[in-house]
Amino acid sequence: MVEDVEINRLYWHSRRGMLELDVLLVPFTREVYSTLDEVDRELYERLLTCEDQDMFGWFMERAESDDPELQRMVRKILDRVQPK
């Protein structure tokens, strides 16, 4: 079980100050993070250590991460909001 303290910590780390990232990351943290397995939780936390400009490019699908695991997490976040 994910504790509220952990969710709150990640909530603040997910607030990037860039609207395009905030609208993806904050709801993901609140609504999905607690349902992830341990591997994906660690991966999401690693994603949050990346530079905003890199993440912006990945989420706007202008670039891809060199790390396939990070790219998988980006895709998981995008799949939540993009119709198939």
pLDDT digits (tens, 9 = 90+) for 35-67: 999 999 999 999 999 999 999 999 999 999 999
What are the tokens at 48? 């949050």
SS3 label, residue 84? coil
Q: Percent of the chain beyond pLDDT 70?
A: 95
Indicate the pTM of the whole model: 0.90
The model's pLDDT over 1-11, given as tens digits with 9 standing for 90+, comes to 678 888 899 99
- What's the rounded Cα separation, in Å, for the pair 71 and 54? 11
- Count, in order, helices (H) and strands (E) of the chain: 5, 0
CA 3, 15, 8 angle in degrees (round to 5)?
15
Contact 47, 73 (CB under 8 A): yes
